Amino acid sequence: MENKIKKIGILTGGGDAPGLNAVIRAITRTAILKYGYEVIGYKFGYRGLYNNDFMPLTLDSVSGILHKGGTILYSSNKDNLFEYLVEEDGKTVKKDVSDVAVENLKNEGVDVLVVLGGDGTLTSARDFARKGVKVIGVPKTIDNDLGATDITFGFDTAVSIVTELLGRIHTTAESHHRVMVVEAMGRNAGFIALHAGIAGSADVILIPEIPYNVDSIVKRVKERDEHGQPFTIIVVAEGATEKGGEVVVNKIVEDSPDPIRLGGIANKLANDLEKVIKNHEVRSVVLGHVQRGGDTTPYDRILSTRYGAEAADMIAEGKFGNMVCIRDGHMSSVSLEEVIGSNKSVDPKGELVRIAKNIGISFGDE
């Protein structure tokens, strides 16, 4: 059957992640060089699709972006076109404006929409597929918590950044004999904190999958003191909780499809520890968005290129309504219907937790 695909559109939604530009580059170059497609990119995710705000993507426009973090298409995590905030009669109301987006695609002659995003962004991708739009999804999150794929781009870069910063914090903690509580991203999954904590020589790693108790952490600090190591590095994932407690919420963003913003657990834990640890200063460090920024690691550049090239191949093969994924190290695909809500988390009895405990790292649960 004749392949009638001539023009594709790309958008990036949700939080930015190192590797997005590398994916955009790989899709664009493969689409143009291998298949002869025209490529455009919608700005600010679904908002650009609604406003018909796009830019041409050419070999020139994607040149020199392989290593850069962020996204040349910009991004937004507030624009769900199936519940879009619009002004009507002087009031802000949620309205389904997805038909406007579908019409924009038709008017611009876009045959396929490639959506780079996490759970929320891909939920809308699935919904557009249900409306008859030819959609290809590409998984994006630094948290590595999408269950439908083995690994997501941006995760390795985030772990590398946190690991480097832990090394810097280590020297100042040792100099002042301090207890340093370092907060990492990850939402409700502890992968970044776990991997960076092991790589960065943390003494305590606190993750959402293993609730902690303060007494256990204090015990670990005392043990280090007794062994002539009068400083302690604690890495805590933003979604970690004390036993019987709740996650610490930084703020609620009312106009966002995912309104809860976690953050502040490091400050809370530092305050709790200061009440019971009298022979050390306890300081907290929130790494925040620095974990998303800067250059992309070589591993993520290659991984992103694999994702992007495969997405272009899937267009040619007519595998619409699916997301690119990696299974057992090999490129594959999975239906968007199966992707949504399929999240993964750290296995408390898994290999990494086990070996971390074997080398003396505490998870605050003893």
| Residues with catalytic roles | 143
Annotate 136-161 with DSSP letters as a single string: EEEE--TT--BTTSS--TTHHHHHHH
First to last CA, the chain: 63
Question: Using CA of residue 72, residue 116, residue 209, residue 326, what is the dihedral sign?
Answer: negative
**Six-digit token pair at 270?**
């530092």
Phi, psi dihedrals of residue 115, rounded to the nearest 5°: -110, 120
- Closest by alpha carbon to 51, among 96, 129, 105, 117? 105
* Cα–Cα distance measured from residue 43 to residue 46, given in angstroms and rounded to the nearest whole number: 8
- Measured CA to CA, the distance from residue 211 to residue 294 in angstroms comes to 32
Biggest alpha carbon distance in the chain?
75
The single-letter DSSP state of residue 263 is: -
CB 23: neighbour CB atoms within 10 A? 30
Per DSSP, 68 falls in state B
- 309 CB contacts (<8 Å, ≥6 apart)? 26, 27, 30
